[in-house]
Amino acid sequence: MTTGAAAPSLAALAAAYRDGATTPTAVTEGCLGRIDRLDGRIGAYLAITRDAALADARASEQRWRDGRPLGPLDGAPIALKDVLCTRGVPTTCASRILERFVPPYDATVVARLRAAGAVILGKTNLDEFAMGSSTEHSAFHPTRNPWDLQRVPGGSSGGSAAAVAGGLALAALGTDTGGSIRQPAAFCGVVGLKPTYGRVSRYGLIAFASSLDQVGPLAVDVRDAALLLEVIAGHDPRDATSVAAPVPDYTAALGDDVRGLRVGVPDEYFIEGLDPEIEAAVRDAIAVLRDRGAAVERLSLPTTGHGLATYYVIAPAEASSNLARYDGVRYGLRVEGRDLIDMVSRTRAAGFGPEVKRRIMLGTYALSAGYYEAYYGQAQKVRTLVRQELDAALARVDVIAAPTTPGVAFEHGAKADPLAMYLNDVFTIPASISGLPAISVPCGFSGSGLPIGLQLIARALDEPTLLRAAHAYERATPWHARRPALG
């Protein structure tokens, strides 16, 4: 697919509002018009909050006119992954079992965006309950990659990534459990940031795996990701896993200078099965950092090779526990039966899709009597080893550089085998099970014109260094400015 003009960044948008070059209403109307024209082909959204978005845009316009904006996100049209509770708006997790669920409250991250003046355009599509790597497992419709409509956008935050890549939103929130922000960001040629576990509140996030889930931004560039993180980060007493640490000025950490930065390159991330075009693009990206003054050294992280198997024990086990609440009794879908047990069984059979059922069964087995210690207990021990190994490496270097994905976006239906699908997460999972911050930034294109992502991983709560390295690379290369030509 040919490339189109780059979408405006959030930072540029704020400057345009300040100068009177455009207005929040005009920009919001432009996004809604683009959704009307294009989303029938892309399928990025599950719900559009048109009237509320226009009302919020008009209120923002008045604040800018009065010289009282709420901040750089005031009037910015943003989309939300449909796992984030949004007051008065259906929040379905792309599942039939929550098809008619309308939360009476906002998730903390949604409330913080509203307080910053952001305009919420709607809710984006995902793999059901965030379980997938392609956004083919939505109960409602698949999402397509704006670079090639025959290919997937990645997952599970595929709707958010496709919306940003296609200009159907200027930024979006997604969630990352095993790579669900970074992998679709790589597939769609945008920036995707998974913050440190606990850096962003999970209150109001409908859980998949509670020890892994983390909310983060998808954006057109690193500065926009930093702006979003500044707004949504911070301690929340309603989330017991929220970290009580001050929120840095993330945009102040950005710059072009990486002299003295130590970059580690792990051998285990350049393995058999890695697309040669991706390896070449990532190694070229690392060379760019070296040429700008970073010190690059090889690392060995042998335990991370067990990350994939570890994740696919822990995450389904936690999902089995979390999804037990969907029983047809209190909210969501209800299918009547002969008695309570029959009603619950019928409700879950009708409400959950095949991939969700598969993971619930895997997780229930791993937690069952006689198998708990052999599977879940052992996986938690290996998880500790992976974290210790990454921590030791990050005591030597400032960031780890690696591919985000082993391949580029694949065609719809190409990975019907679950194991083949799970292997898409092989490079993103180690940071997830370790709770470390990681980012994917565009670093090139394949010969067929599909985006490639560079992944950077940093120490816990060291998002400033992570963003500094990503921004310096971005400033030295043109890849982030390319957008698909959709009309």
At 28, which amino acid appears? T
* Residue found by looking up tokens 């991939």 in the block: 355
Contact 262, 478 (CB under 8 A): no
**Is the bond leading into 242 cis (omega within 30 degrees of zero)?**
no
Classify residue 377 by its DSSP letter: I
At 139, which amino acid appears? A
Q: Is the dihedral of CA 446, 449, 450, 451 positive or negative?
A: positive
Contact 146, 484 (CB under 8 A): yes
Residues 6+ apart with CB under 8 A from 152: 134, 135, 136, 142, 143, 144, 145, 158, 187, 409, 410, 411, 412
Distance separating alpha carbons of residues 9 and 137, to the nearest angstrom: 31
* 84 SS3 class: strand
Structure tokens at 25: 């209403």
Alpha-helix runs per DSSP H in 323-448: 340-351, 354-367, 378-396, 418-422, 429-434
Distance separating alpha carbons of residues 154 and 371, to the nearest angstrom: 33
Residues 6+ apart with CB under 8 A from 201: 107, 108, 109, 215, 232, 234, 235, 236, 238, 239, 242
* Length of the chain as a residue count: 487
Pairing of strands 191-194, 3-4: unpaired
Catalytic residues, which ones? 81, 156, 180
